[in-house]
Amino acid sequence: MATNPTRDDFAAMLDDMFGGADSFEGRVVHGTVTAIENDLAVIDVGLKSEGRVPLREFAAPGQKADLKVGDEVEVYVDRVENANGEAMLSRDRARREAAWDKLELEFSQGNRVEGVIFGRVKGGFTVDLSGAVAFLPGSQVDIRPVRDVTPLMDLPQPFQILKMDRKRGNIVVSRRAVLEETRAEQRSGLIQSLAEGQIIDGVVKNITDYGAFVDLGGIDGLLHVTDLSYKRVGHPSEMLNIGDTVKVQIIRINRDTQRISLGMKQLESDPWDGAGAKYPVGAKLSGRVTNITEYGAFVELEPGIEGLVHVSEMSWTKKNVHPGKIVSTSQEVEVVVLEVDEDKRRISLGLKQAQQNPWERFAEAHPVGTEVEGEVKNATEFGLFIGLDGDVDGMVHMSDIAWGISGEDALALHRKGEVVKAIVLAVEADKERISLGMKQLERGAPVAGGAAATGGAGRVGKNEIVTVTVLEVRDAGLEVQTGDDGATGFIKRTDLGRDRDEQRPERFQVGQKFDAMVTGFDRSKKPTFSIKAMQIAEEKQAVAQYGSSDSGASLGDILGEALKARGDKG
């Protein structure tokens, strides 16, 4: 009659199979749930005594254990018997050992694994990978920084194993790598469905100084600031806000780099179409200054069309001045179209052309022969520049400053800042040139046509002997005039004769005429005369012509001959 094997017999059989109870330790074995006591499961693994395992070790994080009597489970035998004679079993260790075996296989094949984020640690989070605990760095949670990870916790989701070391029990995983790979797959599929020229809706995700990134449903495209509008846009935020839904056109697709360029202005009509007809050369228009640079100012004629006023076309009179000192941003100005190039999308404008040429205006107000007054702005080696009405300058050439003296001497008579008078000689508006004369204001200046009238006014030159008429007798000398309507000048008392008796002004009378020599000009360009200098010059000439120091003739004889010869000529 067969008998049922006893517990001891079964233990003996296990000993035969595994080489004794000690060989159980450190191994994962199968067991049967024989009872559930409070929060513990009693499990029989075929040893002399049963073991107790907490029910929580049979539950996933955040869930209750689904376990009942009779269920077969795998447990890890830590020790065959403890102090109470019970087997020390662990479900967690069993799951962990099994998980490590599986994870090593998945890691070697580069496969994703499923896990649950269940806790926070310094620098990241803990992840349960079916019993094995892994570390998830904070930087590997998502593609972009995540402020709140709570919605991601206690949810089964895929991870990529980055590194694992079984001896140290160290596993590092990444959720970001899975998202990036998934995103790349989505991008690749989406980019294949897009085409250049296609119009699509998108959502503004980010705004930068140079444009905005638009989400096209899983792939981002760049909407550059220059493609926002035909009009000038200083910053994308002037037209867009994060979260806006916008309609854009795909301009370019680089399938290798998966970069997409977008445009909004391409959906509008191009304002440059027919710009040549809308803005003919010579047309006078109004516009708004939108930008100022070193080389000029941009003026908006209509949204999307700007023209450049070059610095050389900004002012008739202000040269080498920064454009910002002539116009300001947002200022409304009048301009004239100078040139239009539709192909290059350029319009050249003139600001000064919208105003009357100041040289033409000056010529209208000051015809040739008009007397003007102004300040000496600059003295050059060839003349003086005089500031005139209308913010223009006129030039007095050195030869037109004074009669009878060299240009260099005439220039030396004047200084910068001095106010002078002159006559307009010529105005060349096209060359922006005004010619002035100062000597033409002097009495005795030549009349138009060249030569002076006989016996009348004529220009006088230095060292020239002329006949003068006494206009006024003063203690210091005589005020005289050449001819009846000639240049006026002065003879100093000491220049009235060589002898002291002759140097008395009272011996002359108003209206009396006599000869004198022009010796120079004062600061006002009036000639200075001298009888004394004339006498000395005549004496030298007489000696040279009629006698010498060794001829034996007296000075009186020589002068007598000279006077006689002069009388015969008369």
Q: Reply yes or no on whether the pLDDT at 454 is more than 60.
A: no
Mark whether 537 and 468 lie in a shared domain. Answer: yes
Note the pLDDT tens digit of each residue in 83-109.
565 677 766 677 777 778 888 888 988
> For the purposes of burial, counting CB atoms within 10 Å of the CB of 40, is it exposed (0-12), middle (13-18) or buried (19 or more)?
middle
pLDDT-derived band at 303 (thresholds 50, 70, 90) equals: confident
For 73, the domain range is: 24-109
Beta bridge partners of 203: 215, 245
| Residue 450 pLDDT | 36
- 563 domain-assigned: no
Note the pLDDT tens digit of each residue in 174-214.
999 998 888 777 777 777 778 888 898 999 999 999 999 99
Of residues 469 and 549, more confidently modeled: 469
- Considering only 20-29, 115-124, 152-161, which range has the smallest mean pLDDT? 20-29
Mark whether 28 and 103 lie in a shared domain. Answer: yes
Mark whether 103 and 116 lie in a shared domain. Answer: no
Note the pLDDT tens digit of each residue in 320-341.
889 999 999 989 999 999 999 9
- Which tokens sit at 248? 């854009």
- 71 domain-assigned: yes
- Considering only 11-15, 217-221, 419-423, which range has the smallest mean pLDDT? 11-15
User: In this structure, what CATH number is given to the domain that contains residue 253?
Assistant: 2.40.50.140
Mark whether 258 and 291 lie in a shared domain. Answer: no
User: CA Rg, the chain, in Å?
Assistant: 57
Long-range contact set of residues 30-37: C-beta below 8 Å, sequence gap at least 24: 30/72, 30/73, 30/74, 31/72, 31/73, 31/74, 31/75, 31/89, 32/70, 32/71, 32/72, 32/73, 33/67, 33/68, 33/69, 33/70, 33/71, 33/72, 33/73, 34/69, 35/69, 36/67, 36/68, 36/69
- Considering only 81-85, 203-207, 417-421, 544-548, which range has the smallest mean pLDDT? 81-85
Tell me the C-alpha to C-alpha distance, in Å, between residue 399 and each of 376, 440, 457: 16, 11, 19
- 187 domain-assigned: no
Q: Reply yes or no on whether the pLDDT at 449 is more than 60.
A: no
- 7 domain-assigned: no
| Residue 36 pLDDT | 81
- Which tokens sit at 400? 């037109």
Under a CB-based contact definition with an 8 Å cutoff, are residues 306 and 297 in contact? no
Note the pLDDT tens digit of each residue in 350-364.
998 888 888 888 888
**Distance between CA atoms of residues 450 and 184, nearest Å:** 95
Mark whether 74 and 119 lie in a shared domain. Answer: no
Note the pLDDT tens digit of each residue in 244-292.
999 999 999 887 777 889 999 888 888 888 888 889 999 999 999 999 9
- 540 domain-assigned: yes
- Considering only 62-76, 210-224, 539-553, which range has the smallest mean pLDDT? 539-553
Mark whether 136 and 148 lie in a shared domain. Answer: yes
- 451 domain-assigned: no
Find the DSSP H helices in 239-288.
275-278
Mark whether 77 and 37 lie in a shared domain. Answer: yes
- 529 domain-assigned: yes
Instruction: Domain count for the chain, please give it.
Output: 6
- Considering only 131-140, 237-246, 357-366, 459-468, which range has the smallest mean pLDDT? 459-468
Q: Average of pLDDT values for 141-170?
A: 88
**Distance between CA atoms of residues 407 and 440, nearest Å:** 15
- 424 domain-assigned: yes
> For the purposes of burial, counting CB atoms within 10 Å of the CB of 108, is it exposed (0-12), middle (13-18) or buried (19 or more)?
exposed
Under a CB-based contact definition with an 8 Å cutoff, are residues 320 and 336 in contact? no
**Distance between CA atoms of residues 140 and 294, nearest Å:** 50
Q: Among 79, 109, 139, where does a domain finish? A: 109
Tell me the C-alpha to C-alpha distance, in Å, between residue 362 and each of 156, 355, 436: 90, 13, 13
**Distance between CA atoms of residues 187 and 216, nearest Å:** 10
Q: Among 267, 287, 304, where does a domain finish? A: 267
pLDDT-derived band at 566 (thresholds 50, 70, 90) equals: low
**Distance between CA atoms of residues 203 and 260, nearest Å:** 14
Mark whether 343 and 278 lie in a shared domain. Answer: yes
Mark whether 468 and 415 lie in a shared domain. Answer: no
Mark whether 71 and 121 lie in a shared domain. Answer: no
| Residue 134 pLDDT | 92
Average pLDDT in the chain: 81
| Residue 213 pLDDT | 93
Of residues 299 and 35, more confidently modeled: 299
What contacts 170, CB < 8 A, 6 or more positions away?
135, 163, 164
Under a CB-based contact definition with an 8 Å cutoff, are residues 360 and 429 in contact? yes
Q: Reply yes or no on whether the pLDDT at 162 is more than 90.
A: yes
| Residue 41 pLDDT | 78
Q: Among 222, 246, 267, where does a domain finish? A: 267
